[in-house]
Structure 1
Amino acid sequence: MKFNKWLMTGLLISGLWITSTQPINAEANASIHNESIYDLYVDRYFNKVITNDYDVNAKDPNAFAGGDFLGIIEKMNHIKDMGFTTISIGPVFATETYDGKRVLDFNTLEKRFGTPEEFQQLISEAHKHNVKIMIEFPLNNYSVNHVWNSQTGWIQSKENDVLTLDLTKVEVQQALKDTLVEFAKTYEIDGVKLSELNGAPTSFINEMISSVKEVRNPMYVIALEESDANFDVKYSDDLQVNFREAFKNTDLPTEGIVSTDYNELLLFDHLNTERFTYYSALENMFPPTRIKTALGAMFTMPGVPYMTYGTEIAMNGQHAQESHQVMNFRVDEELIDYIKDINNVRNKSETMRTGKLELLKNEDGYIVFKRYSADEEFIVVINNTSETKRIDLTSNIVGENKELHGLFESDIVRPDDNGEYRLVVDREIVEVYQVTDLQGLNKSYIFAMALSYVLFLGFLVIVWKKGKQRRNEQNKK
């Protein structure tokens, strides 16, 4: 049955769309609303070469672990296969810390990460895979040994070996703008995540955004800090916490997540917070199931999905020493396969990315909504409760003479004698139904089922023949 379900899911997701959309990464059509972002630290991802392992100690959670640009290239298919279109790789400048935050010199790449040629190779390889590369650019709080530490007129403090600049100074603002623009001109990056915004006037942040966007199109600029600046997508602490709180367990209030719009960043944790797994484990819940349900919501609601590396292996951690573990690629594929499938649904459908939403039901973890546009329509059922749920939808919502194709549980729902569509979804499952014209017998389903049974019977015949051959050989002896 597992084989049948896998086969049917693949056929449904790959073949049901009656309206094809343009490639989501086409440059002429580029928009951050078409992206899904995978966030990582270079040092914590994959160590491809040891020639750049200077003072590396993988056993010390506070030390460099050895990850490098070539390591990201090595594991590019892992990210691409999950359907992510943008990789955010953290700061890449010369630094005293593995996370890149304690910058020493913006004009030099961190030697442990690799050479300028290897960094450009990473960008080029990503572009070959139709994936964009975003780097993090901290606006403040560098190493006290930063090359700017002698600029006394720029400095606000040097406490705790941290160099804090006065971001209201015109000279400081100009230096930061020039530095970022020059970096963007030197390397073909596609985006910037600005960080350490505290103390930066909004007008200055807007100037930074405008300046770097003039270098290249597209050039996405985001932040994981709340700001009134003109970022391409909005970040909200409350929304991030609301997603975490809604899905860490079942039957929890979901009012705080159902009003998202396409211009919001959707996430339940990031590299500066505790891991989502930490909170679900505190609830004595099975983290992979919690993650699947939460991601199912994030990838079907309006907004830009943003996932932290290691989520696909349910990485745990309350503090940085725990939550910034080196990525482990020897894992169970079930959660990764789910991310592939749900991301594939979003990538294939412009309606899922930017279409309208009509909320049909929202009650303590049970959310039903319609995503629609002039070209296509979906019904999404998020059953984050502890019991099976049912909803009957009228033709006023679904339409006359329609049928609903479940993309994950492979069921087909047609109207009953009263013209209503009865949707039944098991606990802790997100199901996406594509609305199509009523077609009667589903030939694709019949063919797929027949094919699966033929293959299964063929397998049994092969096993029987090999067993018979072995018995004959043993009898001859």
Structure 2
Amino acid sequence: MKSMKWLLLVATSVVAMSVPVQANEAVDRSYYELLIDRYNNGTTQNDRDVNHDDEFAYQGGDFIGVSDRVQHVADMNFTTVLVGNVFDAERYDGKGIRSYERVNEHFGTEEELRDMVEAFHKQSIEVVIDVPLIWKGQSLDEEQQRQMIEKVATFIESNDIDGVRFVETDAYDVRTLEERAAQLEQESKRFVIIADERVTERAVVNEERTELLQQTFAAFNEPTDAFVNWSLDESIPIALDTLEGERMTKKMVDLRMFPPTRWHLAATALFTLPGTPVMTYGSEIALNNDLWQHPIMNFKTEMELKERIGQLNDLRNRSKTLRTGEVEWLHTEGDYLVWMRSSDDERWIVALNNSDETRSIQLTADQIGDGKKMRGLLQDDLIRQNEDGTYYIVLTREMSDVYYVEEDQGYNVGYIVATASVVVGFTIFLVAVLRRSNRQSV
């Protein structure tokens, strides 16, 4: 029922006039990051060296298992999936690479890798693999770098992989990393990103931004004033979790917070603030890494956050303004954060109540305009201008909403008709089923 209501809201708003983006540029992407070994076990045929009692041993995840869960990623509307290192390596997480040509046999065969990539492509999702730049504990010399580029280019072309991410890059200077990335892009015609914050135009996940997001949204009543210094560079990837650090859910639990509520609030910020969102596997189930650094994904638990993530990603994919629009901070005091993203085509208001009490904020006609209404697409709210020309946003504790600003032309006939059509259609369907059932019983 919630999904139907969401479709009606989007279908009867101006947002529906836009087409979901194809991730041709970095700012258009949204990343879902996973580890093959910890995601899903699709077959026991490659379960070598599996030990479920050892955190550092293989756990059985494979290419077939990931292929079986492509729809799960697609339901959350991500444009790009980061699948980690698929090459032969000593460890499940890709450390200790042994080849730039062979796949890790624990994950399956190269044919199964191609099937996985094809499954993602059928859902219009790009696939990015990791390429570690440390070989047998040492950095690559110039000749090894040249060979690496040739081998990786051949590998990703033959398996139709969309891009690569250089990892384990600390031993290299920025110039070398940028040159090797450019060479690989030219040779393979695929894009390259670099997991190194020194390379600002290509880096994946900004640690400073992640720290601010975690500090603010792990618990309620945390101040939001630091966001006025948030970088407006949309190309810088941002994340609430990383594979290397402490999970945000663990911090929430340690602070005795209720993770699903906190995650709803944090996800709203992640997908609407300037930056390219990166979400680590398991965030959709509020995964906790209190026991293992890389826990096994659990697909049998409730997916409380999956629908909300999908909604936010859908809005971001449809609206260029939510990806690249100008930012104006409307309120950053205390624990109530409100900002506007605008362009010549549209305006959005994002409001987050990070407190444990109901809060309100008054916006003026100078900020919103006269004769407007604000449609809340997450809470199904509708705000109209008051007689004194102001607009009031009221949110209960730990709630957020994304408002689309449009002309107030009275009642939305289209929405009423669409809603009535659904109700009438469903009623007709039920009557038909009941009549058929009665005839069969006679």
- After TM superposition, the score normalised by the length of structure 2 is 0.91
| Residue of structure 2 in register with 1:348 after alignment | 318
- Map 1:302-321 to 2 at 5 A: 302-318=274-290
Question: Which range moves more in the overlay, 305-314 or 329-338?
Answer: 329-338
Equivalents in 1 of 2:389, 2:16: separation in Å? 25
| Residue of structure 1 in register with 2:137 after alignment | 164
| Alpha-carbon distance, 1:216 to partner | 4.8
| Residue of structure 1 in register with 2:95 after alignment | 101
Q: 2:174 aligns with which of 170, 189, 202?
A: 202
Equivalents in 1 of 2:84, 2:5: separation in Å? 39
| Alpha-carbon distance, 1:180 to partner | 3.0
Matched, 1:12 2:6: no
Equivalents in 1 of 2:310, 2:69: separation in Å? 15
- Structure 1 spans left out of the alignment, 5+ residues: 143-162
- Map 1:47-66 to 2 at 5 A: 47-66=41-60
Match of 2:114, SS? Answer: helix
Contact 2:364–2:390 (Cα < 8 Å) also in 1: yes
Equivalents in 1 of 2:347, 2:37: separation in Å? 42
Match of 2:45, SS? Answer: coil
Equivalents in 2 of 1:121, 1:456: separation in Å? 39
Contact 2:200–2:236 (Cα < 8 Å) also in 1: no
Matched, 1:266 2:238: yes
Q: 1:78 aligns with which of 69, 72, 76?
A: 72
Contact 2:43–2:64 (Cα < 8 Å) also in 1: yes
Contact 2:153–2:188 (Cα < 8 Å) also in 1: no
Match of 2:292, SS? Answer: helix
| Alpha-carbon distance, 1:133 to partner | 0.3
Matched, 1:226 2:190: no
Contact 2:205–2:278 (Cα < 8 Å) also in 1: no
Q: 1:36 aligns with which of 19, 27, 30?
A: 30
Question: Which range moves more in the overlay, 197-206 or 9-18?
Answer: 9-18
Per-residue CA deviation, residues 183-235 of structure 1 (Å, 9 max, x unaligned), is 33333211222111111111110012101221455514141x3213641x564
Contact 1:403–1:413 (Cα < 8 Å) also in 2: yes
Question: Which structure would you say has the larger Rg?
Answer: 1
Cα gap change, 1:240/1:108 in structure 2, threshold over 3 Å: closer, same or farther?
same
Equivalents in 2 of 1:6, 1:189: separation in Å? 32
Q: 1:182 aligns with which of 145, 154, 166?
A: 154
Equivalents in 1 of 2:265, 2:90: separation in Å? 38
Contact 1:205–1:229 (Cα < 8 Å) also in 2: no
| Residue of structure 2 in register with 1:401 after alignment | 371
Matched, 1:21 2:15: no
| Residue of structure 1 in register with 2:132 after alignment | 138
Cα gap change, 1:19/1:408 in structure 2, threshold over 3 Å: closer, same or farther?
closer
Equivalents in 2 of 1:22, 1:64: separation in Å? 41
How many residues in Structure 1 have an aligned counterpart in Structure 2?
438
> Aligned letter for 1:15?
T
> Aligned letter for 2:366?
N
Cα gap change, 1:260/1:46 in structure 2, threshold over 3 Å: closer, same or farther?
same
Matched, 1:89 2:79: no
Per-residue CA deviation, residues 144-196 of structure 1 (Å, 9 max, x unaligned), is xxxxxxxxxxxxxxxxxxx32245x4334334333433333333211222111
Equivalents in 2 of 1:458, 1:23: separation in Å? 32
Match of 2:332, SS? Answer: strand
Equivalents in 1 of 2:267, 2:153: separation in Å? 35
Equivalents in 2 of 1:41, 1:239: separation in Å? 23
Matched, 1:372 2:342: yes
- Structure 2 spans left out of the alignment, 5+ residues: none
Per-residue CA deviation, residues 287-328 of structure 1 (Å, 9 max, x unaligned), is 11111111110101111110000111111014xx61312211
Equivalents in 1 of 2:434, 2:199: separation in Å? 69
Equivalents in 2 of 1:454, 1:56: separation in Å? 54
| Alpha-carbon distance, 1:284 to partner | 0.2
Contact 1:82–1:337 (Cα < 8 Å) also in 2: yes
Matched, 1:247 2:217: yes
Per-residue CA deviation, residues 409-467 of structure 1 (Å, 9 max, x unaligned), is 112111111221111112211201101111101224444665677689889999999xx
Question: Which range moves more in the overlay, 73-82 or 236-245?
Answer: 236-245
Matched, 1:363 2:333: yes
Equivalents in 1 of 2:17, 2:411: separation in Å? 23
Match of 1:439, SS? Answer: coil
Cα gap change, 1:230/1:177 in structure 2, threshold over 3 Å: closer, same or farther?
farther
Equivalents in 2 of 1:235, 1:24: separation in Å? 21
Matched, 1:68 2:41: no
Match of 2:403, SS? Answer: strand
Cα gap change, 1:118/1:257 in structure 2, threshold over 3 Å: closer, same or farther?
farther
Q: 1:289 aligns with which of 240, 261, 271?
A: 261
Q: Between the two proteins, what is the percent identity of the paired residues? A: 35
> Aligned letter for 2:338?
V
> Aligned letter for 2:88?
A
